[in-house]
Amino acid sequence: MSQAPETGRGPVVTPVRVVIALCLVAPFVAMLWVGSYAKTDPVLIGIPFFYWYQMLWVPVSAALTMVAYKLWQRDQRARSASKGGAAQ
Amino acid sequence: MNDGVNGVALAVFLFFFLLVTVMGFLAARWRKAANEHTLDEWGLGGRSFGTWVTWFLLGGDLYTAYTFVAVPAAIYAAGAAGFFAVPYTILVYPLIFTFLPRLWSVSHKHGYVTTSDFVRGRFGSKGLSLAVALTGILATMPYIALQLVGIQAVLDVMGVGGGESTNWFIKDLPLLIAFGVLAAYTYSSGLRAPALIAFVKDTLIYLVIAVAIIYIPIKLGGFDDIFASASEAFSETNPATGAPRGALVPGDAGQWTYATLALGSALALFMYPHSITATLSSRSREVIRRNTTILPLYSLMLGLLALLGFMAIAAGVKVDNGQLAIPQLFENMFPDWFAGVAFAAIGIGALVPAAIMSIAAANLFTRNIYKDFLKPDATPAQETKVSKIVSLLVKVGALAFVLTMDKTVAINFQLLGGIWILQTFPALVGGLFTRWFHRWALLAGWAVGMVYGTVAAYGVASPTQKHFGGSAKEIPGIGEIGYIGLTAFVINLLVTVVLTFVLRAVKAPEGVDQTKPEDYTADAGDPGVQVELPPATAGSTH
């Protein structure tokens, strides 16, 4: 799901892009692996683990998306700079 | 349920309702453009919205009154299974981040107003574009109907919904008035009306949630007590099924269902025409990416809201119709005036998405049925006129639906709508990244997915219904219980891939692709991308 088909702008897979992909994939792994969080303990202020853990993932995934966004911006700027300001 | 009319709550409710009505009509003048008789103006707000307006608009759009009523209602009824809405909305944002900016770019470059416009331009297939348009309209109608069901729930609890004894006209009069007002300002102001009203809606909702999540647990003795009484209630045997009513944590059998529902719903959400409408109305592709980092605020709110379902159990709210659980909880726990604020939040929460949905469905009809098949030489002014009228018809249809049929029918169709809309994913998202899929293969995959999904959903029985009793069924070949929509989607994808190999081998005509690779990454300011596209037809057909 990378923005692969852009031609002639350096390698498509770079370490930065791998990190971006990991940031975007992590919430899927965490949320779809229901067995990892389908339990009551530890309870937090009276709320079972199942509920607070998933709600904790809301800010975590937002932070991950934010990191992906910042890295993507940098990646694009670097690329357009090296290619003399082509379309982003 | 309360027999008398709650006067104070009703007065507060009416105050906010009047406020948004005035705003709705004034919205036409907000950020007004020179040429208002284009579909871009009326149907996409001139494609001019920045980060915050887009945030409010998307939030107002995706987190509907029905969500506010139904998610806690599901928790109230069965516990953990209803909480899938939270992982579902968490998964939506990485998905948006990946594909929506590309859709934004290509749509701005070619003047696409709907997803079907894109599919037609990309695959050169009016048939495929028609399939996407019809699916979108079909899936949106029951969604609008459910918003009216949400308003009805609030009116019922306030005591103005009328009992069974009053005649139908008096009973439905408040709903008819609410509906008439909504139709009038959508007609005159287009997408600007819900965008402006969304500010009020979200402010009210945040206020109500913040108060509810602090005030109600204090009154009920803290979360320990709330979950203890919920746990007790869930362990009681349900006489209809002979099994416990629900659980605090999904058991092994329920985990597949939970995960597939979350994933399937996340994939489906941005296939809905109204989500796309809100997205395309944004000013630049950066607005969309930036939004994926602030939209999760709504997910947090949804999670807190879901917990209200447990509070309703702990507070001893007893309703036959689960949809009334949360309005009734507010009525029982809050002072009258604040209950009025809460009801206004739900009521306005229904108006905003209903407006956007009817606009989105109308855009689809106008662009991909009227202009493609009925009147190819329609002028932008004619397009706008048709769209306005269709947006009215769509709402009348939804109203007729709610008034004449049982509520469960609307909910069944909504369930089907989710399954259906997911079947447009390969054509749309696939098309954004690759031209490899063959247009006829996509059409065949879509058809197979639609048929499988409908038949499978028809066959699901529940203790109260023989058909359409739920959205989960055994996955063929795996044997676990999973979301039908996701199963249908996988089958759809398999058919598409296999047929693409076949059609490519026999060299079936591929159709003309209007788009170029660089169109998918273009941003506002690049050559050929206008921030304010003059006629809605720019670049799409001539």
Q: Model confidence over A2-35: pLDDT tens digits?
A: 444 444 456 777 888 888 889 888 889 888 888 8
Sort out which chain A residues have CB atoms less than 8 A from B434's CB and list them. 5
Interface A:B, Cβ pairs < 8 A: 128
Asked if residue A87 is part of any domain, the answer here is no
Identify any residues that bridge with B244 across adjacent strands, giving them in sequence order: B237
Select the residue of B83, B223, B299 nearest A46 (Cβ to Cβ): B223
- Tell me how close the Cα of A80 comes to any Cα of chain B, in angstroms: 12
**CB proximity list for B14: less than 8 A, separation 6 or greater:** none
Nearest CA in chain A to B75: A51
* CA-CA-CA-CA torsion sign (B427, B429, B430, B434): positive
- Tell me how close the Cα of B445 comes to any Cα of chain A, in angstroms: 21
- Tell me how close the Cα of A81 comes to any Cα of chain B, in angstroms: 15
Sort out which chain B residues have CB atoms less than 8 A from A51's CB and list them. 83, 303, 307
Closest CA to B345 of B54, B70, B17, B89: B17
- Tell me how close the Cα of B231 comes to any Cα of chain A, in angstroms: 11
Asked if residue A1 is part of any domain, the answer here is no
Contact B94 A25 (CB under 8 A): yes
Only one residue has tokens 């997408």, namely B191
Asked if residue A88 is part of any domain, the answer here is no
User: Choosing among B213, B223, B284, which should be mutated to test the A contact, i.e. which has the most A CBs within 10 A?
Assistant: B223
Contact A57 B87 (CB under 8 A): yes
Nearest CA in chain A to B258: A34
Contact A46 B250 (CB under 8 A): no
User: Choosing among A12, A17, A23, A28, which should be mutated to test the B contact, i.e. which has the most B CBs within 10 A?
Assistant: A28
Give CA–CA dist B160/B142, Å, rounded. 24
Contact B87 A54 (CB under 8 A): yes
Give CA–CA dist B20/B196, Å, rounded. 9
Sort out which chain B residues have CB atoms less than 8 A from A31's CB and list them. 87, 90-91, 259, 262
Asked if residue A70 is part of any domain, the answer here is yes
Contact B94 A7 (CB under 8 A): no
- Domain coverage including residue A59: 15-80
Q: pTM for this structure?
A: 0.82
Sort out which chain B residues have CB atoms less than 8 A from A39's CB and list them. 249
Nearest CA in chain A to B251: A38
DSSP category for residue B344: H
Would you state the pLDDT for residue A1?
43
Contact B87 A47 (CB under 8 A): no
Identify any residues that bridge with B481 across adjacent strands, giving them in sequence order: B474
Would you state the pLDDT for residue B335?
87
* B462-470 contact pairs (CB < 8 A, 24+): B463/B238, B463/B240, B463/B241, B464/B240, B464/B408, B465/B408, B465/B412, B467/B412, B468/B412, B468/B415, B468/B416, B470/B415
Asked if residue A68 is part of any domain, the answer here is yes
CB B440 within 8 A of CB B503: yes
What is the token pair recorded at A4? Answer: 């692969």
- Tell me how close the Cα of A13 comes to any Cα of chain B, in angstroms: 16
Would you state the pLDDT for residue B537?
34
Beta pairing, strands B472-474 & B481-483: antiparallel
Going residue by residue through chain B, which has 542 residues, state the pLDDT in tens, using 9 for 90 and above.
445 677 788 888 888 888 888 877 777 666 665 555 666 666 666 666 777 777 777 777 777 777 777 788 888 877 788 888 889 888 888 888 888 888 888 888 888 888 888 888 888 888 888 999 999 988 888 888 888 877 877 887 777 765 554 556 666 777 778 778 877 877 777 777 777 787 888 888 888 888 888 888 888 877 888 888 888 777 776 666 666 667 777 777 778 888 888 888 888 888 888 888 778 888 778 788 777 777 788 888 888 888 888 888 888 777 777 778 888 888 888 888 888 888 888 888 888 888 888 888 888 888 888 888 887 787 888 888 888 888 888 888 888 877 777 666 667 777 788 889 999 999 888 888 888 888 889 999 999 999 988 888 887 776 667 777 677 777 777 777 788 888 899 999 999 999 988 888 888 787 777 777 777 877 766 666 654 443 333 333 33
User: Is there a cis peptide before residue A42, judged by omega within 30 degrees of 0?
Assistant: yes
Nearest CA in chain A to B267: A28
Asked if residue A2 is part of any domain, the answer here is no
Contact B90 A34 (CB under 8 A): no
Look up residue A25 and give its amino acid. V
Nearest CA in chain A to B225: A46
What is the token pair recorded at B356? Answer: 């956007």
What is the token pair recorded at B322? Answer: 């689960």
* Domains parsed from chain B with CATH numbers: 7-29+37-406 (1.20.1730.10)
Contact B289 A40 (CB under 8 A): no
- Tell me how close the Cα of B522 comes to any Cα of chain A, in angstroms: 6
Torsion of CA B128, B131, B134, B135, to 10 degrees: -120
Would you state the pLDDT for residue B205?
83
Give CA–CA dist B323/B150, Å, rounded. 8
Contact A50 B83 (CB under 8 A): yes
Nearest CA in chain A to B430: A1
Asked if residue A8 is part of any domain, the answer here is no
Select the residue of A50, A55, A57 nearest B80 (Cβ to Cβ): A50
* CA-CA-CA-CA torsion sign (B118, B138, B379, B392): negative
Sort out which chain A residues have CB atoms less than 8 A from B102's CB and list them. 3
Sort out which chain B residues have CB atoms less than 8 A from A8's CB and list them. none
Select the residue of B89, B249, B256 nearest A39 (Cβ to Cβ): B249
User: Choosing among B93, B103, B108, B122, which should be mutated to test the A contact, i.e. which has the most A CBs within 10 A?
Assistant: B93
Please say if the pLDDT value at position A86 is more than 50.
Answer: no
Within 10 Å of residue B297's Cβ, how many Cβ atoms? Answer: 16
Contact A54 B292 (CB under 8 A): no
Select the residue of A43, A58, A68 nearest B300 (Cβ to Cβ): A58
Work out the angle at residue B263's Cα, subtended by the Cα atoms of residues B262 and B266, and round it to the nearest 5 degrees: 85
Work out the angle at residue A27's Cα, subtended by the Cα atoms of residues B209 and B273, and round it to the nearest 5 degrees: 65
Instruction: Give the count of domains, chain A.
Output: 1
- Tell me how close the Cα of A58 comes to any Cα of chain B, in angstroms: 6
Would you state the pLDDT for residue B210?
83
**ipTM > 0.85?**
no
